[in-house]
Amino acid sequence: MDVLVYDAHSYDRTFLDAANQGRHRLTYTAAQLDVQTAALAQGFPAICCFVNDQATAEVIERLAAGGTRLIAQRSTGYNNIDLIAAEQYGITAMRVSYYSPYSVAEFAVGLLQTLNRRIHRAYNRTREFNFRLAGLLGRDIHGSTVGVVGTGKIGAVFASIMHGFGCSLLGYDVTHNPDCLALGMRYVPLEELLRASDIVSLHVPLLPETYHMINRETLALMKPDAFLINTSRGGLIDTDALIETLRAGRIAGVGLDVYEEEEGVFFHDLSDRVITDDTLARLMTFPNVLVTGHQAFFTREAMTTIAETTIRNITDFEEGRENENILRPRR
Ligand code: NAD
């Protein structure tokens, strides 16, 4: 099939070309999918999208008019696709429902320990031959209570790593994962989890029900010396409320791999530009905030599976086979 790959970077090309082996004709564009760039897909029966490509109803209408029949999303999360509109315009949407959950879970632990032990600050200091320890004091993770919000594939791996650290586990999810129960996780309401946890890590998808689940009221429930880690989707956290909490010194540290306004910012080098997002700029000023640019998935293993599954999805669609990665609107 002719496939237009949106928001393509050199690493996307490397992994997709390796998985494709010339099977489909892949055309790469650095453009992100939106109302303007939908026209680039004219004549492409398939497009391949990433997390910040906006497959809104208006975009989907334009894609359908241009002959597109498949959106192959190269990620797990798919909150950027209007599935009702896709169904209405006869476009099939597929995703990568499974790839290394270790990539994201291990990164979440990395964010936590970097913040806790101030490794990022130590790195900068020692490069200037400053080997003083003042300001680098951390705490043992062993014995902490860890609240895992969303105990699916990634949350369960995160829970198991934290179990290995010697933590007790609280979970919040609409379903109870037997792997987490086997680790001794206790499922509790979100409010109780937030009140009792020393570390809170978010692993639920972004849905209307989970949008801004971390807000002024829920942040107020958290222990003032708790760490909050978000490697899921930026929209789970009300950033303005988070900034208020940080300003008041009511949280120990925040690790964010995602940000609700990351579109157009993350995955780009803006080092020569004036940053116009005052909220992001303010967030960056806190010494106890660590922001990374949506890189938790970015391991060799995850990229290989993402590319292979994306190519398999395109092939299955072309050959009329249904598979587990087809996305359907929730009824
Ligand atoms: P998953 O589907 O295996 O797990 C999600 C869990 O959330 C499920 O157990 C589900 O029951 C639960 N859930 C859904 N709606 C809920 C609700 N309203 N309240 C409570 N729990 C709810 O997904 P996963 O593979 O573990 O991925 C989790 C999220 O991580 C993805 O949706 C995606 O947004 C994010 N993600 C981020 C990166 C990154 O690079 N930062 C990479 C991959 C995935």
Report the CATH number at residue 93: 3.40.50.720
Residues 55 and 111 placed together within one structural domain of the fold = no
Atom 8 in ligand 1: residue holding the nearest Cα: 152
> What is the CA(107)–ligand 1 centre distance, in A?
15
pLDDT by residue for the chain (331 residues), tens only, comes to 999 999 999 999 999 999 999 999 999 999 999 999 999 999 999 999 999 999 999 999 999 999 999 999 999 989 999 999 999 999 999 999 999 999 999 999 999 999 999 999 999 999 999 999 999 999 999 999 999 999 999 999 999 999 999 999 999 999 999 999 999 999 999 999 999 999 999 999 999 999 999 999 999 999 999 999 999 999 999 999 999 999 999 999 999 999 999 888 898 899 999 999 999 999 999 999 999 999 999 999 999 999 999 999 999 999 999 999 999 998 7
Quick one: 308 and 224 in the same domain? no
Domain co-membership, 25 together with 50: yes
d(CA 150, CA 200): 11
ipTM above 0.95 for this complex? yes
- At residue 199, the pLDDT reads 98
Contacts of 264 (CB under 8 A, 6+ apart): 32, 52
> Is the C-beta atom of 37 inside 6 A of ligand 1?
no
Q: Are residues 123 and 239 in the same domain?
A: yes
Joined together, the tokens standing for residue 42 give 């004219």
Asked if 137 and 269 sit in the same domain, the reply is: yes
Residues 120 and 79 in one domain: no
Provide the 3-class DSSP secondary structure of residue 227: strand
Residue 175: DSSP 8-state: S
DSSP designation for 38 = G
Which of 75, 104, 151, 192 to mutate to test ligand 1, by most ligand atoms within 8 A of the CB atom? 104
Residue 66 near ligand 1, beta carbon < 6 Å: no
Range of the domain at 286: 101-291
Mark residue 310 as left, alpha or beta (left: phi above 0; alpha: psi -120 to 50; beta: remaining).
alpha
> Could you count the other beta carbons within 10 Å of the beta carbon of residue 110?
18
pLDDT score for 16: 98
Both 114 and 157 in a single domain? yes
Tell me phi and psi for residue 319, to 5 degrees.
Answer: -95, 10
How many separate domains does the chain show?
Answer: 2
198 lines ligand 1 (CB under 6 A): no
Instruction: Determine the distance separating the centroid of ligand 1 and the alpha carbon of 117, expressed in angstroms.
Output: 27
The set of catalytic residues is 233, 262
**CB-ligand 1 contact for 305 (6 Å cutoff):** no
Q: Whose CA is nearest to atom 2 of ligand 1?
A: 152
Per-position DSSP letters for 232-266, written without gaps between them: S-GGGB-HHHHHHHHHTT--SEEEES--TT-TTTT
The HSE-up count of residue 197 (CA atoms within 13 Å, CB side) is: 32
Residue identifier of the C-alpha nearest atom 13 of ligand 1: 204
pTM, rounded to two decimals: 0.94
Whether 248 and 314 share a structural domain: no
Model pLDDT, residue 198: 98
Gap from CA of 231 to ligand 1 centroid (Å): 10
pLDDT at 99: 93
Residue 239: name the closest of 180, 271, 279, 269 by CA: 279
Residues 222, 180 within the same domain: yes
Q: What is the pLDDT of residue 265?
A: 87
93 shares its domain with 106: no
Q: Are residues 152 and 241 in the same domain?
A: yes
CA of 144 to the centre of ligand 1 (A): 23
Atom number of ligand 1 nearest to Cα 177: 9
Check whether residue 168 and residue 219 sit in a common domain: yes
